[in-house]
Structure 1
């Protein structure tokens, strides 16, 4: 049985490694062509629709986890960008990683990935503007975060290789952790048990999965191989996607960091918003 687990882990790990290196290198090369200054001007523009689209684009081209998003958010607030636009970026950045989304498309299928991208994009925009409309801007503390500098690198193969290596150091271990967990689930957890408990279309599994995902702090890179195995074992897609989005959108370390720049009421609202976004997303997959 453990030999099967090892074989499963090696297969998943090799597949993800090849995908990760190739995709992250190509994306790093493409980032040399991105006009960051123009995007920043759009973020500060008066046209909210264009600014929201720019925030989503900026979130997509900056491959950050939930914790490393915080310094960027502080920098955006320091530049006095509209609060709603900053919130859109905060919600979208961890869940719209270009490398991980591409891997998701290969592993989970492009239909699932497209729906995931569209749903998380729309919900990030709605929640961001809603928080602005409700006046949560007053709940931002005056914080200056040192040590953060924007990097605008030109098209350069060496820079792309360096960025790929840096990304591997920060993200790749979580891919391997996800592969290991997925292999254990694949080899040791009975298919019948997962399909009977989590495979049924019980609506209440979705909000539970959304709530459970946050304290787990399973990064999106780890959740993809785990989700693949859970779906193969018969787990319903709705709860899987709800847990995936909540674990990527918020985490205990991120909440602790947010407490340093947001007041208590905004931190609580942020966590509830992530749970809401995850739950709604799960129900959309449930209905589809």
Structure 2
């Protein structure tokens, strides 16, 4: 009697998946085009005085909440598919052996599309160091990954416009590259925690399985389930803050506090942003409301950069592998870069 081998599980049909994605995109487009009349309809049925501060705040919240969540879902799905072409192991292999300069640019560019969050900061850092990636190149990646988040770029493009998104991308890359290069030139490897220096790459990477089109679609869906599931509450909180700013904050007051004429507003925004905990998707509705009220774009984006690139929780996590002195250098160099970007943005968009 022979034992029959179990049949391999049947793979979902790629054509069906593609048809489903196209149908979902069509439904997304129809619904997105109805958000303005839908928000008008909701606000009109509430006991609110038309044109009042509370009515404008409610209108902003009712319109922006589904808009931002829909845009976030679309961007995260697309970038989930893009990310399927990368992995932490493949990223490490691409950066290993790269010299400073070219390596800083490659690391910053890879930081945009590769998986990164606070919880992965330490294992990524150890993996890079053990693979022989220079310290400055590693920092370029660690700065770019959270700050030039692909979700942030997609939402900036949709909510604020292509000029701001492109400028944010260019200056964010510049901050990551230059900051990493400066840290590399300082030769601070001795300021790593001793146990990190003892780590050596002793095992070869496992081969990366090639993914099918269906695998990549499923990766995009999983990214939506994971990322949107984790950040939706922060997004709604950010939209609520943006709604209050939109409805109640006087434009003249914001211009005085965060305008181009107030030179101190850029360093103040950076100092306020560093201890905050949020993510790019949650902070962008606040950025949208502040810019809409006339706040200087450089000041607002410097605030956003400091929240995403120098947040206190990430710094605490990195303390496991960096000494306090190296943390101070990291915050100081990146903070100076963000200050420069804020002042430059204000000058360019004056």
Q: TM-score, normalised by structure 1?
A: 0.89
Deviation at 1:98, TM superposition (A): 1.1
In 2, Cα distance between equivalents of 1:100 and 1:29 = 17
Deviates further, 191-200 or 109-118:
191-200
Q: CA-to-partner distance for each residue in 1:104-133, whole Å, 9 max, x for gaps?
A: 111111111111111111221111121121
Q: Structure 1 174/152 Cα, relative in aligned 2: closer, same or farther at 3 Å?
A: farther
Q: Which residue, 233, 243, 265 being the options, matches 1:183? A: 243
- Distance, in Å, in 2 between the alignment partners of 1:65 and 1:35 is 13
5+ unaligned residues in a row in structure 1: which ranges?
none
**Matching residue within 132, 150, 169 for 1:80:** 132
Gaps of 5+ in 2: 1-52, 200-204
Task: Give the aligned partner of residue 171 of structure 2.
Answer: 119
Aligned residue among 34, 48, 51 for 2:103? 51
Taking a change above 3 Å as real, the CA distance of residues 48 and 19 of structure 1, as seen in their structure-2 partners, is same
Matched, 1:167 2:227: yes
CA spacing shift, 1:196–1:51, aligned 2, 3 Å = closer
- Counterpart CA distance in 2 for 1:282 and 1:15 is 28
> 1:253 Cα shift?
1.2
2:263 paired residue among 195, 199, 203: 203
**Counterparts of residues 61-80 of structure 1 (less than 5 Å):** 61-66=113-118, 68-80=120-132
Distance in 2, matches of 1:18 and 1:218, equals: 19
Q: 1:36–1:152: 8 Å Cα contact kept in structure 2? A: no
Does the alignment pair 1:213 with 2:265? no
2:274 counterpart SS class: helix
2:75 to 23, 32, 42: 23
Matches of 1:4 and 1:228, distance apart in 2: 15
Aligned alpha-carbon RMSD (Å): 2.4
2:302 touches 2:341 (CA, 8 Å); kept in 1?
Answer: yes
In 1, are the aligned partners of 2:278 and 2:307 still within 8 Å (CA)?
Answer: yes
| Structure 1 residue ranges (4+ consecutive) displaced by more than 6 angstroms after TM superposition | 149-153
Aligned 8 A contact 1:69 1:93 in 2: no
Work out the number of aligned pairs and report it: 284
Q: Is the Cα contact below 8 Å between 2:88 and 2:114 reproduced in 1?
A: no
* Pairing 1:226–2:286 present: yes
The 3 A distance-change label for structure 1 pair 37 and 68 is closer
Instruction: Say if 1:235 and 1:180 are closer, same or farther in 2 by CA, change over 3 A.
Output: same
Rg bigger for which structure? 2
**TM-score normalised over the length of structure 2:** 0.74
What's the offset of the Cα at 1:219?
2.2
For residues 179-220 of structure 1, the C-alpha deviation after alignment (integer angstroms, 9 at most, x for no partner) is 111011112222232123322422221111111110122322
- Cα offset for 1:101? 0.7
Moved more, 176-185 or 195-204: 195-204
CA spacing shift, 1:258–1:285, aligned 2, 3 Å:
same
| More RCO (CA 8 Å, sep 6+) | 1
Aligned equivalents of 1:232, 1:67: Cα separation in 2: 34
Partners of 2:115 and 2:293 in 1: CA distance: 30
